[in-house]
Chain A
Amino acid sequence: MFPERRQRSFLDTRVLSRLSGFPLFARTPMLGSVSGRHPSPHRGSSVEFAEYRKYVPGDDLRRLDWRAYGRSDRFYVKEFEADTNLRCCLVLDTSGSMGYGSKEVTKIEYARRLAGGIAHLAIQQGDAAGVACVAGGIVRNLPPRRNPAHLSSLYDVLEQAQPKGETRIDEVLHELAETVRQRAFVVILSDLFIEPRRLAGGFQHLRFRRHDVAVFHLLDPKELSFDFRRPTRFLDMEGGPALFADPSEIAERYRKAIGGYLDDLKQVMLESAVDYHRVGIDEDYEQTLMRFLIGRARGKGAR
């Protein structure tokens, strides 16, 4: 009668249960369809007073504040803040470079764990969650829904995502900014191997559409240290030309290049007000998620 519960490789129920105590907050007002725990740009019926305004014909008489009428002999309507749910749109980079992992965990596997955890938390607290797998374009898109049964479909998409193709996340971000309805929570999981200045446009487009953007920048430790010893033939995982190099000769310049890139990227993220998290895939993803959730709880409240 019930579908057989599948064991997902990227899910750990113990981790999910421990994370359940940490709510996922949006940093900006969301436009949900139902009541939730996120601030809404509209007035609503929460317990949190917002303001008084003059009665205009047509207003619901039940919302008149009779006490104010008694004191001022004028009609005022008492308004309250509205709390709504959010649409969490997970953007999973499935380009070829996400398949790299110097140890047992690849970047895409790590991204699956993060995405699975965030989706679980979102749907658990009544928010909608969807996923878009992107590489050269949007490979697969699962729109956000808040139906718990939708979570299984989302996991399926995550599970089936394969690292393939080149990274064109800068173009994909523009497309997502237009297709995702305003005021969504966009979580990007990628290694962002693209020129930082080309990313800036996409992030600003998302901000313009009032999306709350968070980025998990996934990097393998070896990609930072580049501690190869023997001469190596590097095959491009995104299909580019191979390169033969002696690490002892090129390592220093490589580190200089990646150092400059990270500095530029950080600058772009600051300018675009993106919730940026640089994550080494050798870190415990539970800790990563924990830091992320706590950080967002601190930034909660802006409307």
Chain B
Amino acid sequence: MSFLQPMFLAAMPLVALPIIIHLINQRRYQTVRWGAMMFLLAANRMSRGFARIRQWLIMAFRMAAIAGLVVAISRPLAGGWLGMAAGTRPDTTIVLLDRSPSMQQTEEGGGGSKLETGRRQLVRTMETLGSGHWMLVESATNAPRELETPEALVATPSAGPVSASSDVPAMLLAARDYIRANKVGRTEVWICSDLRANDWDPEGGRWSSLREAFLEMSQSVRFHVLAYPRPAAENLAVRVTGVRRQPSGAGAELLVSLSIRREGADAKADEAATSSGDSGRRSIPVQVEIDGARSELTVEMTGPTFELKDHKIPLERTHVKGWGRVSIPADANPADNDDWFVFDEPAPRHAVVVAEDPQAARPLQLAASIPPAPQVKCSAEVVAPDKLAGVEWEKVSVLLWQAPLPTADAAKAVQAYVDRGGQVLFFPPRNPGPEEFRGVRWTAWEQPGKEASVATWRGDQDVLSQTQSGGPLPVGQLQVRRHCGLAGESTALASLAGGAPLLSRVSTDSGGVYLCGTTPAPGDSSMATNGVVLYVMVQRLSEAGAKVLGSTRELVAGPASGEDPSTWKRLAGADEGLSTDAALHRGIYRAGDRLIAVTRSPAEDLAPVVADDRLAGLFRGLDYSRVDDRAGNVGSLIQETWRLFLVGMMVAMVVEAALCMPRPRPSPAVAMVGGAAS
């Protein structure tokens, strides 16, 4: 039970008032000399079960009436916010709002999406509880902004749905920074989210530092998680996995690959349904829109996922550049029923190899210059470290660097290239020096006695991920004869048997900075002789780098690095939002001559819900409470129940009065007149 005015609970000892009055009354007895003691003694001996119970009941109802009054004026709340009984009105209330596409999921019966329901519930709750200030940290920008009133949470466009994923730890960091900077008093932090793992990143390293930071705070910070964890069974999500244009006999055709994934589906159950017959088979009409022209195809889906490879859509020969959309019929979550893409002739992949070791440079140049497909143009040039000034960075798709890490102007040029979305793969120099790039530097070479093999690597994502057919790259076949250590903060993508990192990635806002612990030189590793891994790595990096070079670009919804969304012109899209937030809303935008497709994060389709224990573990030691709600819930999370207690008090008084009413006396039994018995 929570109370809005808990200080009135201090009056609860008044419940003992009837007992005290009773005791005082007992003390104020009168003394009477009495003759008819034999009847008093007889009355005292008589069974007094009900009479005693009646007295106790009267006392109990009197106490209940006072308790009801005290509780009523304390303004009790009913609801799941069990931990909210802290008492006084908070100084600041910070709302962390998850606006990710998964929050647009609705449930049967209507009532709005999880996001709408959560906002509504938060408004009601905040209005009831009150606060000195209301702050909103929404997932798109992670920037605290003040709300004048709780109702603003519904009205503000900053709380609407977006296509970008959330980063709850980053939102908490923003809240922490706000609390620290403004030295606020007692703070309530409400997190409204559907607990998707990709939003919460429960395995991330930021949680421990966040927890410690909040534990060290002098002011009281309470966390309330308003969770909407229920997945929508049978919700389908469509995603374009690949688009490429190729010439055909008469003209051209667009090859569109897409995947459809069912949310909340149990793979085993699906397999069983598939094997038992057609019961799991579903026909799904898929609509493909190319520059406004629509076509439809029907796919048969039998399992939890469906993959369509290279669906051909004819194009005119002159139709080289354009945009498109793939959509499926409406279901529980409208945010994942469409996906957007742009197409154009692929930009030439031009690699720049900066190498001090010719034995290393040659394999790199070969790997970068051999095109993976006939229509892809690949080239590579070897540049000496001191000739970087002549490089046309605007045409470089990947930079392969086997030399001491760049410094001074070279470092600035490489950094600018990376910030623009470029990809860099560093290999260790012959003599590692003190040079640093983005906080990392090479350490000394290590040469174990025998060749080391790669023990672990990330096959699920990034440059070493599995092939399109699902097979793993032969990373384990690589033999490393010597490797160079790394100092600084980086994420290992592949590690040798001894635990030394072979391939690491440095965290960047855009672009990619990779560091390979050895070189393709024959004396260092078998990367050149067993060239599949090297070739795939280089080509994947080159492909990623080429994407930012062409006149079309696909962006995952979120803060657009290197872009200015305010200059974008919206051609088509699903979400309506502010023009300045164009990068947050999926759709097609035109920026000058370039076409930009903004899509939702791929992780949105896959992310499971954070387990209850794991979530509790994230807030371990903090003042934390959680309430699970469901989309479309029209009832309030909390509501004042003082009327109930007032009614209870009145009922107690009425019952007490009824019990106190004297019984009709059996007067004939003690009549005085007519006593003669003669």
The chain A residues found within 8 Å of chain B, CB to CB, are: 96-100, 107, 191, 193-195, 217, 219-221, 223-225, 228, 230-238, 240, 243-246, 249-250, 252-263, 266, 269-270, 273-280, 283, 291, 295, 299
- Given the interface pairs A245-B40, A274-B677, A299-B678, the reply to whether A262 lies near B34 with Cβ below 8 Å is no
**Closest CB-CB distance, B631 to chain A, in whole Å?**
59
Partner of A279, one of B33, B37, B675: B675
Asked if A223 meets B35 with Cβ closer than 8 Å, knowing A217-B675, A255-B670, the reply is yes
Which of B31, B36, B46, B663 has the largest count of A CB atoms less than 10 A from its CB? B36
Q: Given that A231-B28, A234-B34 are contacting pairs, would A250 and B675 also be in contact in the complex, using a CB cutoff of 8 Å? A: no
How far in angstroms is the closest Cβ of chain B from A270? 5
Contact of A257 with B39 in the complex, beta carbons under 8 Å: yes
Tell whether, in the assembled complex, residue B39 and residue A258 are in contact, meaning their CB atoms are under 8 Å apart.
yes
CB pair B44–A243 under 8 Å, yes or no, is yes
The answer on a CB contact under 8 Å between A276 and B675 is yes
**CB atoms of B35 and A254 under 8 A apart:** no
Beta-carbon nearest neighbor of B55 in chain A: A249
A250 touches B30 (CB 8 A): no
The 4 closest A-B pairs by CB, nearest first: A278-B675, A97-B35, A259-B669, A276-B677
Q: Say yes or no: A193 contacts B40, CB within 8 Å.
A: no
B37 touching A240, Cβ below 8 Å: yes
Chain B residues with Cβ below 8 Å from A252 are 51, 663
* Contact of A230 with B29 at beta-carbon distance under 8 Å, contacts A96-B35, A193-B35, A224-B672 already known: yes
Cβ–Cβ contact A250 & B35, under 8 A: no
Contact residues of B between 1 and 49, Cβ < 8 Å to A: 25-26, 28-44, 46, 48
Interchain CB contact under 8 A, A235 and B31: yes
Cβ contact within 8 Å between B669 and A295 = no
Which of B35, B38, B48: most chain A Cβ within 10 A? B35
Find chain B residues with CB under 8 A from A257 CB: 39, 42-43, 46
- Decide if A237 touches B676 in the complex (CB within 8 Å): no
In the bound complex, residues from chain A placing their C-beta under 8 Å from that of B32 are 228, 232-235
Note all chain A residues with C-beta closer than 8 A to B675. Answer: 217, 262, 266, 276-279
Residues of A within 8 A of B268 (CB): none
Interface residues on B, range: 20 to 34
Interface hits, B563-578 → A, CB 8 Å: none
Task: Collect the chain A residues with CB atoms within 8 Å of residue B635's CB.
Answer: none
Measured between beta carbons, the chain B residues less than 8 angstroms from A221 are: 672
Task: Tell me whether B665 is interfacial, beta carbon within 8 Å.
Answer: yes
A-B contact pairs, 19 of them (CB 8 A): A97-B35, A107-B35, A223-B35, A232-B29, A233-B30, A233-B32, A234-B32, A243-B37, A243-B44, A244-B29, A253-B43, A253-B46, A255-B669, A257-B39, A258-B39, A266-B675, A266-B677, A275-B678, A276-B675
A278 and B663 within 8 A (CB): no
CA distance A266 to B668 in the complex (A): 14
Given contacts A250-B44, A253-B43, A258-B670, contact A234 B51 (CB under 8 A): no
Q: Distance in Å from the Cβ of A190 to the closest Cβ of chain B?
A: 11
Q: Which residue of A lies closest to B51 (CB)?
A: A249
With A232-B29, A236-B34, A244-B29 known, 20 other A-B pairs at CB within 8 A are A100-B33, A195-B38, A223-B36, A228-B30, A230-B29, A230-B30, A232-B30, A233-B30, A243-B44, A249-B52, A252-B663, A257-B43, A258-B36, A262-B675, A266-B677, A276-B677, A276-B678, A279-B675, A295-B676, A295-B678
Q: Is B439's CB within 8 Å of the partner chain A?
A: no
Q: Which residues of B contact A107 (CB under 8 A)?
A: 35
Give residues 142-160 of B contacting A (CB, 8 Å). none
Q: What residue of chain B has the Cβ atom nearest to residue A280's Cβ? A: B672
In the bound complex, residues from chain A placing their C-beta under 8 Å from that of B471 are: none
Chain A residues near B36: list those with CB within 8 A.
Answer: 97, 100, 191, 193, 223, 258
Contact B666 A234, beta carbon cutoff 8 Å: no
Q: In the assembled complex, how far is the CB of residue B46 from the closest CB belonging to chain A, in whole angstroms?
A: 5
Residue of A nearest to B29 (CB): A231
Q: A233-B31, A295-B678 are in contact. Are A245 and B44 (CB under 8 A)?
A: yes
Verify A193–B29 contact, CB threshold 8 A: no
For B26, the chain A residues whose CB sits under 8 A away are 231, 246
Chain A residue numbers with a CB within 8 Å of B29 are 230-233, 244
> Which B-chain residue is minimally distant from A230 (CB atoms)?
B30
Q: How far is the CB of A60 from chain B (nearest CB, A)?
A: 40
* Other-chain residue from B30, B672, B676 in contact with A276 (beta carbon distance below 8 A): B676
In the complex, residue of chain A having the shortest beta-carbon distance to the beta carbon of B660:
A248
- Cα distance A238–B40 when bound, in Å? 14
Complex CA gap A232/B40 in Å reads 12
Residue of B nearest to A228 (CB): B32
When distances are taken between beta carbons in the complex, the residues of chain A under 8 Å from B55 are 249
- Choose from B25, B52, B678 the contact partner of A231 (Cβ within 8 Å): B25
CA distance A223 to B43 in the complex (A): 13
Q: How far is the CA of A246 from the CA of B29 in the complex (A)?
A: 9
Chain B 340-361 per-residue mask, 1 if CB under 8 angstroms from chain A, else 0: 0000000000000000000000
A residues near B35, Cβ cutoff 8 Å: 96-100, 107, 191, 193, 220, 223, 237-238
Chain A residues with CB under 8 Å of B51's CB are 249, 252-253
A-contact bits for B44-70, CB 8 A (1 contact / 0 none):
101010011001000000000000000
Asked whether A259 lies within 8 Å of B676 as measured between CB atoms, the reply is no
The answer for the CA separation of A270 and B678 in the assembled complex, in Å, is 7
CA distance A253 to B30 in the complex (A): 20
Contact A250 B40 (CB under 8 A): yes
In the bound complex, how far is the Cα of B55 from the Cα of A260, in angstroms?
A: 25
Q: For the complex, what is the distance from the CA of A85 to the CA of B79, rounded to whole Å?
A: 96
B564 nearest CB across to chain A (Å): 87
Contact B677 A270 (CB under 8 A): yes
Taking CB atoms and an 8 Å cut-off, the chain B residues in 622-678 that contact chain A are 663, 665-666, 669-670, 672, 675-678
Min CB–CB distance B48 → chain A (angstroms): 7
Complex CA–CA separation, A234 to B34 (angstroms): 6
In the bound complex, what is the Cα–Cα distance between A217 and B678 (angstroms)? 13
Contacts of B39 in A (CB 8 A): 223, 254, 257-258, 261
A275 CA to B25 CA, complexed, in Å: 45
**Complex Cα spacing A193 to B34, Å:** 12
Of the listed residues B40, B42, B55, B665, the one surrounded by the most CB atoms of chain A closer than 10 A to its CB is B40
Chain B residue at smallest Cβ distance from A251: B43
Question: In the complex, which residues of chain B have a beta carbon less than 8 angstroms from the beta carbon of A244?
Answer: 29
Q: How far is the CB of A242 from chain B (nearest CB, A)?
A: 8
Which of A228, A249, A262, A275 lies in contact with B670, CB distance below 8 A?
A262
Q: How far is the CA of A235 from the CA of B32 in the complex (A)?
A: 6
CB closest residue in chain B, given A266 = B677
A221 to chain B, nearest CB (A): 7
> Which residues on the A side are within 8 Å of B31 (C-beta)?
232-233, 235
A255:B672 contact, CB within 8 angstroms: no
Partner of A235, one of B33, B52, B669: B33
Q: How far is the CB of A207 from chain B (nearest CB, A)?
A: 13
**Bound form: Cα–Cα A113–B274 in Å:** 114
Contact across chains for A253 and B48 when beta carbons are under 8 A apart: yes
Q: Nearest Cβ distance between residue A114 and chain B, in whole angstroms? A: 14
Task: Report chain B residues within 8 Å CB of A230.
Answer: 25, 28-30
Distance of A261 Cα from B106 Cα, bound (Å): 80
Complex alpha-carbon distance, A237 and B43, angstroms: 18
Residues of A within 8 A of B678 (CB): 273-276, 295, 299
- Closest chain-B Cβ to A12's Cβ sits at a distance in Å of 23
Report the minimum CB–CB distance from A162 to chain B (whole Å): 14
CB distance from B56 to the nearest CB of A (A): 11
